[in-house]
Amino acid sequence: MNVVILGPQGSGKGTQAKLLVEKYNYFYFESGEFLREIALKNEVLRRIMDEGKLVPSEEFVAYTEAYFDEKQIYDNILFDGFPRQVEQYRIFKKWLMTRKIKFDLVFVLEISEKTTLQRLTLRKREDDTPDVIKERLALYTEETTPLIEELEKETKVIHIDGERSVEAIFKDICTKLN
């Protein structure tokens, strides 16, 4: 079963993803980390990420497909932060279909903008400046919200209240998974 976890920055999705990987042994695909690795050798990519913009869909999906094909991994994947927009999903869906797989379950962590901002001021990452945080939040509303609506038509999407303790959220997710 392939699972996707989505949520705005600071929603705690990375934390939940790691707990899920520990418990269920998923193959963990974290899009931001995946791109940061590639960006070490790609200045154009680095600039896009430093500004909090989305990496062009065709390019990102091409990297992702090559990565999984090389590893021959098609099941039990936890996608964290990907897909992030409708176009990306539509491109990637073709690849999923040719591999006869799909996103089986999607979790969406929900938190208010206020909580997001509070949590991110506690995190210290180079691209966590106020302007970049705002850019990423705007992108989530503009790009990821329509994606969630599209996913809802095609697969099982579960909305999770992210304004609780890590343990409470994790318990909730595990219950839904079982």
* Residues forming the site for ligand AMP (CB under 6 A): 9, 31-32, 35, 48-49, 52-55, 60, 81-84, 88, 136
Please report how close the Cβ of residue 148 comes to ligand AMP at its closest, in angstroms.
14
Nearest 5°: CA angle at 5, between 39 and 152? 120
Helix (H, G, I), strand (E, B) or coil at 93: helix
- Relative orientation angle of helices 43-50 and 31-39, to the nearest 10 degrees: 130
Min. distance of Cβ 123 from ligand AMP in angstroms?
A: 10
Kindly state the helix (H) or strand (E) to which residue 157 belongs, with its residue range: strand 156-161
Residue nearest to ligand AMP (CB): 32
Smallest separation, CB 79 to ligand AMP (Å): 9
Our CB check for ligand AMP shows the closer of 61 and 173 to be: 61
Among candidate residues 7, 11, 46, the one with its CA nearest the CA of residue 120: 11
Nearer to ligand AMP, 37 or 149 (CB): 37
